[in-house]
């Protein structure tokens, strides 16, 4: 009888541990969909900080960024009034002013352009469904030809479309602007709590691949559409193509950016 009780006890303990193990695995899957739980540290990989903007002060540092595409954009307008700097943040707004929808964007074109490196921003994403926050790299030559190695690519480090869920982010690559444009994505990444607080979003761009990161965890790798030319940084609050796309949005809504940093490897 004693032997039977011991066997039953061992079986019960095994079942409990097994269930707990399954629960832990399920929680891990829900919490994030990263390829690995090992955190990436650019310094450990031979990268040095080469460029940064911490958005200190009360105005945009125009030696690093300038307003981008002021004027009509999709169903609204990119306006200077929707871009501000305060409390250590860049504030990119979606807003309604009168009968106009306002969006916002800044870019480093002509000020800072580079190829390869680790590109990171720390930001708090917008709250509503409709407009979306974006951090991307753009080629100044992308519409001039179809070879991304020669003419570059649009590299969407992240876009936050709430239609996919509050804990889902997307990444994409586009090249050959025009009738033969090629796109990869959207590549989706899941992270519990993405809609709350600040997170870091990053891209490692090397001659061999693109790697996409959230909070230092790698979510995707791609070896297609590789650009080998200098490109510039864009931060933006985008608007959809049609009015029905903002039917669940509220205004004002803000994409807060704490910093942008670029790390480079020594030649």
Domain membership flag for residue 190:
yes
User: pLDDT tier at 266 (50, 70, 90 boundaries)?
Assistant: confident
Domain membership flag for residue 170:
yes
| pLDDT (mean) for 68-75 | 96
The pLDDT, as a whole number, for residue 208 is 98
The pLDDT, as a whole number, for residue 263 is 98
Which two tokens mark 69? Answer: 């595409």
Rounded-to-integer distance, Cα 116 and Cα 141, Å? 16
Q: How many CA atoms lie within 13 A of 18 on its CB side?
A: 6
| pLDDT (mean) for 61-90 | 97
What is the dihedral angle through the alpha carbons of 92, 210, 194, 187, rounded to the nearest 10 degrees? 100
Residue 151 pLDDT > 80, yes or no? yes
Higher pLDDT, 63 or 21: 63
Q: Could you tell me the CATH number of the domain that includes residue 68? A: 2.60.120.200
Domain membership flag for residue 154:
yes
Structural domain containing residue 162 = 35-265
Domain membership flag for residue 198:
yes
The pLDDT, as a whole number, for residue 136 is 98
> What mean pLDDT is reported for the chain?
90
The pLDDT, as a whole number, for residue 60 is 98
Count of C-beta atoms within a 10 Å radius of residue 145: 15
Domain membership flag for residue 20:
no
Residue 200 pLDDT > 80, yes or no? yes
Q: pLDDT tens digits for 12-51? A: 333 334 444 433 333 344 489 999 999 999 999 999 999 9
Q: pLDDT tens digits for 166-198? A: 999 999 999 999 999 999 999 999 999 999 999
The pLDDT, as a whole number, for residue 64 is 98
The tally of domains found in the chain comes to: 1
User: pLDDT tier at 5 (50, 70, 90 boundaries)?
Assistant: very low
Look-up: residue for tokens 């002509």? Answer: 110
Residue 260 pLDDT > 70, yes or no? yes
Q: pLDDT tens digits for 92-132? A: 999 999 999 999 999 999 999 999 999 999 999 999 999 99
pTM of structure: 0.88
Rounded-to-integer distance, Cα 187 and Cα 220, Å? 8
CB 189 within 8 A of CB 168: yes
Residue 2 pLDDT > 70, yes or no? no
Q: What is the DSSP letter of 80?
A: G
Domain membership flag for residue 5:
no
The pLDDT, as a whole number, for residue 22 is 36
Domain membership flag for residue 256:
yes
Closest CA to 121 of 4, 256, 224: 256
> Which segments of 166-252 are extended strands (E)?
168-175, 182-190, 199-205, 210-214, 217-222, 231-238
Task: Quote the percentage of the chain above a pLDDT of 90.
Answer: 87
Domain membership flag for residue 235:
yes
Q: pLDDT tens digits for 221-233? A: 999 999 999 999 9
């Amino acid at each position: 009888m004693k032997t039977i009780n011991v066997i039953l006890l061992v079986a019960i303990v095994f079942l409990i541990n097994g269930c707990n193990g399954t629960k832990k695995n399920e929680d891990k899957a829900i919490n994030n969909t990263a390829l690995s739980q090992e955190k990436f540290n650019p310094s450990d990989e031979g990268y040095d900080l080469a460029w940064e903007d911490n958005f200190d002060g009360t105005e945009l540092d125009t030696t690093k960024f300038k307003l981008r595409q002021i004027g009509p954009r999709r169903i609204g307008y990119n306006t200077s009034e929707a871009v501000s700097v305060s409390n250590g943040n860049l504030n990119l707004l979606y807003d309604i002013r009168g009968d106009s929808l306002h969006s916002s964007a800044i870019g480093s074109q002509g000020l800072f352009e580079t190829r390869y490196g680790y590109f990171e921003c720390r930001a708090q994403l917008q709250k509503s469904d409709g407009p979306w926050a974006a951090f991307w790299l753009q080629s100044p030559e992308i519409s001039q030809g179809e070879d991304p190695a020669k003419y570059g690519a649009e590299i969407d480090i992240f876009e936050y479309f709430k239609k996919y869920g509050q804990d889902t982010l997307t990444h994409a690559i586009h090249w050959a602007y025009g009738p033969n444009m090629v796109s990869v994505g959207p590549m989706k990444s899941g992270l519990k709590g993405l809609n709350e607080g600040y997170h870091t979003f990053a891209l490692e761009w090397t001659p061999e691949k693109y790697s996409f990161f959230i909070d230092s965890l790698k979510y995707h790798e791609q070896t297609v559409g590789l650009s080998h030319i200098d490109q510039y940084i864009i931060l933006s609050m985008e608007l959809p193509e049609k009015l029905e796309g903002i039917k669940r949005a509220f205004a004002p809504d803000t994409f807060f950016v704490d910093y942008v940093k670029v790390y480079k490897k020594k030649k």
